[in-house]
Amino acid sequence: MPYNSRTTVRVFIVATIIIYIIMLFLNSDGRGIYISQIQKKMQKIKTNIEADQSKPESGNEPPTVGESGGTLEQRNPMASVGGSRGTLKRRLPTAIIIGVGKCGTSALIHMLSMHPQIVEAPGEVEYFSRKLTYFSYGLEWYRKRMPLSYEDQITIEKTPQYFKIPGASNRIFEYNATIHLILIVKDPVERLISRYAHDKNVKNGKIKPFEELVIDSNGAVNIQDHQVMLGIYWRYLKDYLEVFQRDQILVVDGKKLVQNPVPVIEKVEKFLKVNESITTSQFYFNETKGFWCSVTFGCMGANKGLKHEDVRPEVISILRKFYAPHNKEFYKLTGINFKWPEK
Ligand SMILES: *[C@@H]1O[C@H](CO)[C@@H](O)[C@H](O)[C@H]1NC(C)=O
Ligand SMILES: *[C@@H]1O[C@H](CO)[C@@H](O)[C@H](O)[C@H]1NC(C)=O
Ligand SMILES: *[C@@H]1O[C@H](CO)[C@@H](O)[C@H](O)[C@H]1NC(C)=O
């Protein structure tokens, strides 16, 4: 081949490659088709992983509702009773459990789903917490995540991320300004420990020691740690109270739910204006687990892994003192004194 035409071929190939690369990386939102596809895929994988992680740790996980397991009738024997209940279809939720993660959100929603008038969305929907993805897909996307229900049933979903993601409260308010919100909480120190045990489990133990994560080099609480900060509940609740009325948010004690579920569930039933139908006869106490289990669905995720005893008392004390003023602020905002230890 003569020199000139070889050069032309080379220039042509290089130009083609450059144009191809430019086309791959550029699109209207400036991030590149290729990149955004990868990001979408990664997002999807991440969501799947998070969905897995958010399931109760126990192997006796109750079946989820809807497409992924357990028909409405299996889960809820009353569901097929009576022909005057209207059509069975997917309805948008009128109640949402907004958090806090690791405080019993899964146990609560599974217990509530034992109620003939309540149906739960499977997994964590994350509609209001993912502004650029799920939320941008619109209400029909949201509706499709909901289980089938009759007219006289309430659809409820739970997404702990709603509590902490800025803007989620506003988006929920715009969706339904009179919606019923449920917030379940535990002593932030217990939450932190239980969150750590969960992460440790997920990461097969490949995680820094608890103390190293939550205490900084000066011996103070590490406020750079996201999980530490999440325990300052009042900061996040404030966002909700800026738009919602206080009585639209039921604040549930996660510890009481574990110790004696029925009285707590009764409060939720009242709040949601459904009949009081969940009774003690639907639960039994598992001595080994130290946990209430449903007669129908078995045991809900109990705290296994790291216990209080595994964390040095000094560290517990530092954490409790750190949270004490924040807890007081939270009691003030909620009007409930949870009496979490202060030292
Ligand atoms: C908003 O939520 C309330 C409380 O659950 C419910 O009564 C109402 O029907 C909902 N509104 C819409 C438009 O879904
Ligand atoms: C709720 O309770 C009322 C009064 O006890 C009863 O008439 C009604 O049928 C119950 N509704 C459902 C859905 O169980
Ligand atoms: C009680 O809990 C233990 C430990 O998780 C479990 O192995 C056992 O099957 C449970 N028993 C019942 C009756 O649920």
What is the CA(59)–ligand 3 centre distance, in A?
A: 10
The residue whose C-alpha atom lies closest to atom 7 belonging to ligand 2 is 275
Mean pLDDT for the stretch of residues 290-301:
78
Least reliable range by pLDDT among 8-17, 44-53, 232-241: 44-53
- The CA–CA distances, whole Å, from 177 to 94, 170, 180, 203, 241 equal 10, 9, 9, 39, 12
Is residue 27 one of the residues assigned to a domain?
no
Q: Which ligand 2 atom minimizes the distance to the CA of 117?
A: 13
Question: From the CA of 57, which ligand is nearest?
Answer: 3
Domain that holds residue 193: 45-67+86-334
The residue whose C-alpha atom lies closest to atom 13 belonging to ligand 2 is 117
pLDDT for the residue 36: 46
More confident residue, 264 or 12: 264
Helix, strand, coil tally for the chain in percent (to 5): 50, 10, 40
DSSP calls for 65-118:
PGGGS--HHHH-GGGGS-S-S---EE---SEEEEE-TTSSHHHHHHHHTTSTTE
0.75 surpassed by pTM:
yes
What is the CA(298)–ligand 3 centre distance, in A?
A: 9
For the cut 80, the answer to whether the pLDDT of residue 134 exceeds it is yes
- Between the CA atoms of 38, 41, 47 and 52, what dihedral angle is there, to the nearest 10 degrees? -120
pLDDT in tens, 169-196: 999 999 999 999 999 999 999 999 999 9
Is residue 128 one of the residues assigned to a domain?
yes
Find the CATH number of the domain harbouring 166.
Answer: 3.40.50.300
Is residue 14 one of the residues assigned to a domain?
no
Q: Which ligand 2 atom minimizes the distance to the CA of 274?
A: 1
Q: Tokens standing for 137?
A: 């897909």
Mean pLDDT for the stretch of residues 67-87:
52
Is residue 339 one of the residues assigned to a domain?
no
What is the CA(176)–ligand 2 centre distance, in A?
A: 26
**In total, how many domains does the chain have?**
1
pLDDT in tens, 14-63: 776 665 655 555 443 334 444 444 444 445 444 444 443 443 333 333 33
pLDDT for the residue 169: 98
- My answer on whether omega of the bond before 228 falls inside 30° of 0, hence cis, is no
For the cut 70, the answer to whether the pLDDT of residue 326 exceeds it is yes
Q: Are 258 and 293 in contact (CB under 8 A)?
A: no
Give percent of the chain with pLDDT exceeding 70.
76
Mean pLDDT for the stretch of residues 221-243:
98
Helix H or strand E segment including 17: helix 3-25
The residue whose C-alpha atom lies closest to atom 5 belonging to ligand 2 is 275
Is residue 293 one of the residues assigned to a domain?
yes
